[in-house]
């Protein structure tokens, strides 16, 4: 049982958010848990409901109710998918486009492992999903811990240990994780990081498995929560509070927080303060992260229409690109530099220089059948440069090319 609990355990960190498999992450654990307990207590029954009835004298009524909820939920979800699609769906995919808050039932979704996003089925049971995960997380942690405690004890002592085995936790941290696995809702109360951390310290599972990097995980989930509802003022306050209150931040962590602060201020159109924040981030940033930070600075300078500084920023970004971790990938990062750099050159009336980079950008934009979203803008800028240089024939040729791509 201990091995099974470990095998199917849900990670209690930010990684719970990513795509999951229905058989592994929904269906198997409750039935394996019930069957293991059946073997452990030598119960001669076959159906999960009968087994759970018999388990009551061994693990207590409350724990049986938790097992019953999990078993019934899994059966309900399987029936739901068969009724909707007449087949089972094994992959569970968090559909971020539908998770945005609209007041409707925006929940988890199940889909076939080979299905496209168009085959997604919405599972409209947010509260049940959250209750299922709260119990799943608890059982997969507490049961193996109790089995370890009982290794050298008598059967009667083991029975007492299992009766006191917690199969549910409603601490603020577990609730955050359950919401991350399902959906944030408009009326949810968002607690401060320190409040959530205190609830972890007071929980039963903290003694079994202290939450490594709990502050970072809680901070990341709350930040994502605010992003879901596009509450940038709250994100900004969260970031500023963390910068002021967390005395253990490294220079690299401070640089990242300042980067996100600048990003948030840019969303709020607070460009001068965003520029100050990103410049502070650049001073503290590890060399490998400098490129991404410089590109945010370029975006802010572009918004401020400070083309002299923007030109310098882009030149520096091109120097750094080969030495740093890519922001997206080499091609897309290069196109982003050219997007800002060519505009700065045009605004500074350096048309010949701009044309050189626009030609490079035009070639990079067409990768096979795919055309980058900046392609038409680069063509428009080429027309501007040719006209400014008196090259009407070149301008007309690019204009015709632009017409060909207008509706693509």
Domain assignment of residue 226, yes or no = no
For residue 222, being part of any structural domain is answered with no
CA distances, 329 to each of 310, 323, 325, 326 (Å): 22, 13, 9, 5
Q: Looking at 188, 223, 245, which one is the last position of a domain?
A: 188
Is the distance from CB of 138 to CB of 67 less than 8 angstroms?
no
Q: Which domain holds residue 61?
A: 1-188
| CA–centroid distance for 30 within its chain | 26
180 and 317 belong to one structural domain: no
In a domain, 237, yes or no: no
Answer yes or no: is 232 within a domain.
no
pLDDT confidence of residue 103: 32
* Count of beta carbons in the 10 Å neighbourhood of residue 189: 6
Q: 29 and 137 in one domain?
A: yes
In a domain, 400, yes or no: yes
Mean pLDDT (10-residue bins), the chain, 408 residues: 63 53 71 87 92 91 94 85 68 41 37 44 76 90 78 63 84 89 78 91 87 82 85 93 90 95 96 98 94 97 98 96 92 95 97 96 80 89 97 95 80
**One domain for residues 39 and 183:** yes
Those residues whose C-beta lies under 8 Å from the C-beta of residue 251, and which sit 6 or more positions away, are: 284, 286
Question: SS3 helix, strand, coil % of the chain, rounded to 5?
Answer: 70, 5, 25
- CATH number of domain containing 400: 1.25.40.10
Is residue 261 within 8 A of residue 249, CB to CB? The reply is no
pLDDT digits (tens, 9 = 90+) for 197-240: 999 999 998 888 777 678 888 898 888 888 878 889 999 999 99
Query: What is the DSSP code (8-state) at residue 15?
Result: G
Cα–Cα distance measured from residue 31 to residue 34, given in angstroms and rounded to the nearest whole number:
5
pTM: 0.73
- 3-state SS assignment for residue 366: strand
Contacts of residue 247, Cβ cutoff 8 Å, sequence gap at least 6: none
pLDDT of amino acid 106:
34
Question: Is residue 111, in this structure, part of any structural domain at all?
Answer: yes
Looking at the fold, whether 13 and 158 belong to one and the same domain comes out as: yes
Distance CA 298, CA 312 (A): 9
> Is the same domain home to 9 and 127?
yes
Q: Are residues 21 and 161 in the same domain?
A: yes
Tell me whether residue 370 is in a domain: yes
CB burial readout 147-183, b (16+ within 10 A) else e: beebeeeeeeebbebbbebbbbbebbbbbbbbbbbbb
pLDDT at 110: 44
Which of residues 168, 188, 208 is at a domain's end? 188
Give the model's pLDDT for residue 22: 60
Final residue belonging to a domain, choices 188, 208, 243: 188
Number of structural domains the chain divides into: 2
């Amino acid at each position: 049982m201990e091995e099974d609990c470990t095998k199917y355990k849900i990670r209690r960190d930010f990684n719970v958010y990513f795509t999951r498999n229905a058989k592994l992450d929904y269906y198997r654990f409750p039935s394996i848990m019930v069957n293991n307990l059946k073997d452990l207590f030598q119960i001669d029954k076959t159906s999960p409901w009968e087994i759970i009835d018999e388990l009551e004298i061994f693990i207590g009524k409350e724990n049986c109710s938790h097992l019953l909820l999990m078993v019934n939920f899994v059966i309900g979800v399987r029936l739901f998918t068969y009724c909707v699609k007449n087949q089972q769906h094994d992959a569970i995919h968090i559909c971020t486009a539908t998770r945005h808050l609209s007041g409707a039932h925006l929940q988890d979704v199940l889909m076939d492992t080979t299905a496209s996003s168009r085959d997604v089925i919405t599972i409209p049971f947010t509260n049940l999903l959250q209750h299922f995960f709260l119990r799943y997380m608890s059982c997969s942690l507490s049961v193996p811990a109790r089995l370890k405690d009982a290794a050298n004890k008598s059967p009667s002592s083991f029975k007492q240990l299992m009766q006191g085995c917690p199969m549910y936790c409603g601490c603020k941290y577990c609730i955050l994780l359950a919401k991350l696995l399902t959906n944030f809702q408009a009326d949810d109360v968002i607690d401060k990081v320190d409040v959530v951390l205190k609830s972890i310290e007071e929980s039963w599972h903290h003694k079994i498995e202290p939450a490594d990097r709990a502050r970072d995980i809680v901070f990341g989930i709350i930040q994502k929560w605010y992003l879901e509802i596009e509450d940038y003022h709250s994100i900004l306050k969260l970031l500023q509070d963390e910068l002021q209150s967390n005395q253990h931040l490294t220079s690299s962590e401070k640089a990242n927080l300042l980067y996100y602060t600048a990003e948030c201020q840019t969303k709020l159109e607070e460009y001068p303060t965003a520029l100050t924040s990103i410049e502070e981030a650049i001073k503290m940033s590890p060399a490998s992260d400098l490129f991404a930070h410089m590109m945010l600075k370029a975006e802010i300078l572009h918004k401020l229409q400070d083309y002299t500084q923007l030109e310098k920023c882009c030149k520096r970004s091109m120097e750094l690109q080969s030495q740093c971790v890519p922001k997206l990938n080499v091609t897309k990062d290069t196109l982003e530099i050219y997007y800002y750099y060519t505009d700065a050159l045009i605004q500074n009336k350096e048309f010949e220089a701009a044309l050189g980079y626009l030609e490079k950008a035009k070639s990079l934009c067409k990768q096979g059948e795919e055309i980058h979203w900046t392609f038409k803008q680069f063509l428009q800028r080429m027309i501007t440069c040719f006209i400014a240089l008196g090259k009407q024939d070149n301008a007309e040729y690019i204009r015709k090319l632009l017409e060909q791509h207008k509706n693509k």
